Structure 1
Amino acid sequence: MKFRMAENSLFAVLLRKPWWISMLVAAAFVAVVQALLPAQYRNVGSLGALPFVVIAGIAFWRQLGAPSESESRSVLEGASRMGWPEFEQALRAGFTRQGWQVRSGQGGADLVLERNGQPASLVSARRWKAARHGEESLQALDNAMRKQDVSRGVYVALGELTPQATRLAKSRQIEVVQGDALVRLLRK
Structure 2
Amino acid sequence: MSENSLFAILMRSPWWISFAVAAVIALLGKIIASGEYFSYGVAFTLPFIVVGSISAWKQRNEPSAARVEDTIEAVSAMSWREFSGLMEKAFERDGFTVKRIDGAADFLLEKQGRTSVVCCKRWKAASQGVEPLRELEAAREAREAREALYVSANGVSDAARQFAKEHRMALMLAPQLARLLRLPRKSLPRK
Give 3-state SS (helix, strand or coil) of 1:113's partner. Answer: strand
**Are the aligned partners of 1:129 and 1:159 in contact in 2 as well (CA < 8 Å)?**
yes
Aligned twin of 1:69: 65
Aligned twin of 1:161: 156
Aligned twin of 1:29: 25
Say whether 1:12 aligns with 2:8: yes
Q: Distance in 2 between matches of 1:26 and 1:99?
A: 41
Q: Distance in 1 between matches of 2:140 and 2:166?
A: 13
Q: Distance in 2 between matches of 1:151 and 1:30?
A: 50
Aligned twin of 2:169: 174
What is the identity percentage for the equivalent residue pairs of Structure 1 and Structure 2? 35
Aligned twin of 2:187: none
**Are the aligned partners of 2:150 and 2:171 in contact in 1 as well (CA < 8 Å)?**
yes
Unaligned runs of 5+ in 1: none
Q: TM-score, normalised by structure 1?
A: 0.88
Say whether 1:149 aligns with 2:130: no
Q: Distance in 2 between matches of 1:42 and 1:121?
A: 56
Aligned twin of 2:122: 127
- Report how many residues are paired: 183
Paired amino acid for 2:128: H
Give 3-state SS (helix, strand or coil) of 1:43's partner. Answer: helix
Say whether 1:79 aligns with 2:89: no
Give 3-state SS (helix, strand or coil) of 2:92's partner. Answer: helix
**Are the aligned partners of 1:105 and 1:122 in contact in 2 as well (CA < 8 Å)?**
no
Q: Which moved more, 1:149-158 or 1:16-25?
A: 16-25
Unaligned runs of 5+ in 2: 184-191
Give 3-state SS (helix, strand or coil) of 2:105's partner. Answer: coil
Give 3-state SS (helix, strand or coil) of 2:148's partner. Answer: strand
Q: Which moved more, 1:33-42 or 1:100-109?
A: 33-42
Paired amino acid for 2:74: G
Q: Distance in 1 between matches of 2:42 and 2:137?
A: 52
Paired amino acid for 1:131: A
**Are the aligned partners of 2:25 and 2:41 in contact in 1 as well (CA < 8 Å)?**
no
Paired amino acid for 1:148: R
Q: Which runs of at least 4 in structure 1 moved beyond 6 Å after TM superposition?
A: none
Paired amino acid for 1:102: V
Q: Which moved more, 1:105-114 or 1:135-144?
A: 105-114
TM-fit CA distance, 1:38:
5.1
Say whether 1:187 aligns with 2:179: no
**Are the aligned partners of 1:154 and 1:174 in contact in 2 as well (CA < 8 Å)?**
yes
Taking only aligned residues, the RMSD between alpha carbons, in angstroms, comes to 1.8
Give 3-state SS (helix, strand or coil) of 2:62's partner. Answer: coil
TM-fit CA distance, 1:182:
0.9
Aligned twin of 1:40: 36
Q: Distance in 1 between matches of 2:107 and 2:135?
A: 14
**Are the aligned partners of 1:151 and 1:173 in contact in 2 as well (CA < 8 Å)?**
no
Note the 1:87-98 alignment, pairs <5 A: 87-98=83-94
Deviations along 1:47-92, whole A, 9 cap, x unmatched? 2111110121122123322222322211111111111111111111
Q: TM-score, normalised by structure 2?
A: 0.87
